[in-house]
Structure 1
Amino acid sequence: MLKNYIVGLLLMLPSVAFSTSGSCSNTQLSDYLMHEDNIIVSFRVIDSQFSGQIDNNFIEIEITKEFYSKKLTDTRIKIETENGFGPALSTFTKNIEWLTVLSKYKDTYIFAGCAPTLTIENAIVQGETGINVLDQMGDSVSVEMLELALNAFQQGISSADSVCKSSNSYCSERATYNIETGVLNLPSVEYTSLFGGKVYAKAKMQKVSNDLKTYQITELE
């Protein structure tokens, strides 16, 4: 039941279910899903070297999980470059499972700029994920639940991208949902007209039962 709730909410409200921020200090894990070069992973450090010369520093990591994508061809990656905006290599100590974002850089990988650094203990993510529907539950977020949420959000991005390839002026707006009133505002919905053509419109919907998927359209422009 809980999985169905999360999947339904994220697929309908990807821009609401995930928080965004223009500040590097508040950048959340979910903000990195919008760029194809970013890869959210969990890993452990298996080797490292730090000396007085930054050019000689490196860490070697073993990927324990790649979320929502299948871009990595090797589970062991040596990271030698710091971009000045991402977490320092020395952040990642051994004997801990880490969760952060890799970014493709030429023929290798670096830690993405402003990437948050979380840890995983006993398959539970420690700290806020930046995914509102998970962080506001008040319960521990498992790795399984995080993967489910990220996959659902990716599906939402793909659906929105498909709609916005049309001549649709509503794509610059955001969906909103009021959890107290159950009112769902969608900037763009696609439906088939009586003549068989696709039409795009704004819609306001009202939640009418405890089933997350049961809404009644109250306004359509």
Structure 2
Amino acid sequence: MTASQVDRLLEVMDRLRSDGGCPWDAEQTHESLAPYAIEEAHELAEAIESGDRGEMLGELGDVLLQVVFHARVAQEHPDEPFGIEEIAKACADKLVERHPHVFADVIAEDAETVTANWHAIKARTMGRESVMDGVPAALPALQRAQKMLSRAERAGLDVTASSTGASSGDGIGERLLALAAEASAAGVDAESALREAVRSFEAAARETERAGARRIGE
């Protein structure tokens, strides 16, 4: 995307939010837009998993729209306004800060070292009290489980589902957590794996449904 197209997108959003623009767009807030950001992120993940480049292009545009929309809303805040320039600056500053092996004199010869450095810098600069801090509660449960498990492992915490004392759904929750741990050990994203399995189930169910309809019609 060229700079001129980025500028055009910002101009379109400005027009939509200005007097004489779109009534629906004009009344949106960060809070009302939040569900759309979650929805679009999931749709992008689905497009990536499908391998459809055209679909991915469209969904990336929808995710970008969320950023631009929130930036325009934030620009209108009466006391603490910020816009796309401030967002881009904060993002670039964060990337530079967390890649000292590229922009400073830190040596990182492999991806594992880069990841370790990233988390160390993140913990130091964000002032978190626990390695568990910062994992969104709104994440899908399997994805959140793997995040928590990963952080516990990275911190050397010896915590298992059985040691928590929790028991839910006749132990189903604990077994799901154990499966998430198994997926992590195998290098598998549990959320993506479940989505793929559900897609296969859906396709099989639809085919069974169609076959039943054909038999009834014969």
- Give the structure-1-normalised TM-score: 0.23
- Relative contact order (C-alpha < 8 Å, sep 6+): which is higher? 1
Higher Cα Rg, which structure: 2
Structure showing the higher strand proportion among its residues:
1
Greater fraction helix = 2
